[in-house]
Amino acid sequence: MIMNLAAAMAMTAALGTALAQPPVGKLPGTSAKIVAKMAGRPIQLTSYSTPSTRPPFAMRVWDPAKRAFVETEGDVAVSPDERWTATLARTRPPGKPTMTFVDRESGDRTNVELPVPADPAQEGQYLQTLWPTWSPDGRHLLLNVFEAGSEPRSEGIVLIDVPTLKARFVRIENALITVGGFQWTRDGKGVVVRWGKNGKSAIRQYDLTGAVKRTWHVRGRPADQGQGTFTPSGRRFVTACMSLETSACVWDTATGKAVTRIKLGFSPVWSPVLGWYDERHLLAATSKGVGIVDLKGKVVETLLTVPKKQGLYLRFEARGKG
């Protein structure tokens, strides 16, 4: 039997800060290295994968019980309290896509069939479903639903309530789906997404029924790593605002006015890494790998080093206060 969220958080509170975190050293299967202690940080490296010419593409997710990165197939998202893992398989049998939730406390494993519409262009197939992302409070998981294409447009999102694991589809059509897709607002009561065309777009906010709440006429896509698009206070948000992810733009949430633009430079990391680390620092790809960057663009700490020839897809997620 799955406990309610309050009970789950109470049980994990005493253990939250004691959960084992990835150690300093080489990432298995790569030439990349963690070079800073990760314990006690507001974000954690939860999973990573390397390019492969043959599916299924192996991904490794951090397992605090085993104190190791273990192989898994599919996109994995770890809840802020680190209790739940949610995995969307990259390969699946015919039928609707399925999300697999694992309760790390009880060991319970639950498959949740996603209410994804059929793909009108492909008989017997369903629309693409990608990028599972936890809300900041850990109460919901969202997935992007969209048609494939060179400039894909959203059909909506799937929201899964935790811990009931009930899923529903929310139709939000025509948003421009770029890296990461829809992202959470800081209060977990809404989502933001890029809207418009590449080269001329805005950021639009929706509530969890799919209603438009506001639009910021700013450049770029919402950041998707670390603490996410918004600072912990929600007062500012960040976008990847230049081609090839070479710059980060910081905006004032209340006014939509620009705060700063930071040039990030070339990174050896193949996947975009950008999001808030804390209220005054960004988590970003750097010339050495991944680090913590201040709002003047200075790298104040390097977390991972990544050789330029090492293709690597990294996932950093927020960690709850537990």
Whether 42 contacts 319, CB under 8 Å: yes
| In a domain? residue 63 | yes
Residue 319 region by backbone torsions, left for phi larger than 0, else alpha for psi between -120 and 50, else beta: beta
Whether 60 contacts 70, CB under 8 Å: yes
**Residue 249, strand partner residues:** 239, 261
pLDDT score at 15 = 37
pLDDT score at 101 = 96
| In a domain? residue 49 | yes
CATH number at residue 153: 2.120.10.30
pLDDT score at 92 = 55
Single pTM value for the model: 0.89
| In a domain? residue 258 | yes
Q: How far apart, in whole angstroms, are the C-alpha atoms of residue 158 and residue 248?
A: 28
| In a domain? residue 99 | yes
Q: Quote the tokens at residue 299.
A: 């790298």
User: Could you please report the per-residue DSSP string of 186-247?
Assistant: TTSSEEEEEEEETTEEEEEEEETTS-EEEEE---SEE--SBT-SB-TTSSEEEEE-SGGG-E
| In a domain? residue 24 | no
pLDDT score at 55 = 55
| In a domain? residue 215 | yes
Q: Which residue has the tokens 């080269």?
A: 199
| In a domain? residue 232 | yes
> What is the tally of structural domains in the chain?
1
pLDDT score at 152 = 82
pLDDT score at 121 = 79
pLDDT score at 5 = 33
Residues of the chain with pLDDT under 70: 1-18, 52-57, 90-94, 149-150, 244, 265-268, 321-322
Q: Which range marks the domain in which residue 115 is found?
A: 5-11+35-318
| In a domain? residue 17 | no
